[in-house]
Amino acid sequence: MFSVTVLGSGSAGNATLVATGRTRVLIDAGFSHRELRRRLALAECTTDALDAVLITHEHTDHVAGLPRLAAAIPAPVYCNQRTHAALGGIELPRLEAFASGETFAIGDFEITPFSIPHDAADPVGFRLVSDGLAVVIVTDLGYLPENVKDCLRALDCLVIESNHDLEMLKGGGYSWQLKQRVLSRTGHLSNDGLGAFLQTEFDGHPRHLVLAHLSQNNNLPELARLSAQRALAARGASPQLDVAPQDRPLATIWL
């Protein structure tokens, strides 16, 4: 048995705690050190109890609290070499480098990072497996290429981006350049983009599906949920569906 707690997800910060009775792994550190400590406490965890911190990519909403966190805890930070270089001199005293596609172990978890299409140095999602149970955390991707789809099979929990509603984005106040960035194949996955996957290629295996990294300007939780619900119904799948908030942790999911 293990647990998944999305501590918060969106353009203002991202972090997720995945834990067993013996091993606690934090994926991304996109909140201030103080806020990370506060949110971890709500999940009955402390920063000192972490066994590792995994970084998906170097954008601020995923690493804002990393410098202080890395300096304060005994646990190592795992990221790939290009992401480390893109962090711009952040000191990581206990750095562990990984390569996409190569599985490594941390305590009870076998972890496989996989490449995703986003406008960062070398962004990844993570698949974590323990005692036959599997979870994937994957946000910040413009579309779902085949290598990502392969990683989304036979899961028990999937945390995946549903960033924007297309009509809200097109009619909203973003500049043309920013709209083009979000809509590009290295931007962010829309409600419709995720819905197409859920309706046509989702295997229906996960018991839990979490919609994450919703745009505060170009999406609404009810729109993301409705899009996913329609796609799941057409597919004949019925996982527990949750929407990760930005301002507080989502209730812990137990697998």
pLDDT in tens, 125-163: 999 999 999 999 999 999 999 999 999 999 999 999 999
Q: What are the residue ranges spanned by the domains of the chain? A: 3-245
Q: Residue 222 burial (CB < 10 Å; 0-12/13-18/19+)?
A: exposed
> Quick one: DSSP state of residue 114?
E
Report pTM: 0.98
| pLDDT classification of 66: cutoffs 50, 70, 90 | very high
Question: What is the reported pLDDT for 246?
Answer: 98
Average pLDDT over residues 39-45: 97
Question: What is the reported pLDDT for 90?
Answer: 87
Question: What is the reported pLDDT for 49?
Answer: 98
Helix spans in 113-190 (H): 146-151, 166-171, 176-183
The four Cα atoms 99, 101, 102, 104 give a dihedral, to 10 degrees, of: 100
Q: Where are the beta strands (DSSP E) in 23-90?
A: 24-27, 52-54, 77-79
Pairing of strands 24-27, 15-19: antiparallel
Question: What is the reported pLDDT for 168?
Answer: 97
Q: How far apart are CA 190 and CA 169, in angstroms?
A: 10
Considering only CA atoms, which of 136, 175, 182, 142 is closest in space to residue 156? 136
Question: What is the reported pLDDT for 1?
Answer: 84
What dotted CATH number matches 3-245?
Answer: 3.60.15.10
pLDDT in tens, 102-120: 999 999 999 999 999 999 9
% residues pLDDT > 70 (the chain) = 100
Summary mean pLDDT of the chain: 97
pLDDT in tens, 167-182: 999 999 999 999 999 9
- Which helix (H) or strand (E) element contains residue 191? helix 191-200
Contact 215, 224 (CB under 8 A): no
- Is residue 89 scored above 90 in pLDDT? no
Average pLDDT over residues 36-64: 98
Three-class SS of residue 17? strand
Average pLDDT over residues 15-28: 98
Q: How far apart are CA 52 and CA 77, in angstroms?
A: 6
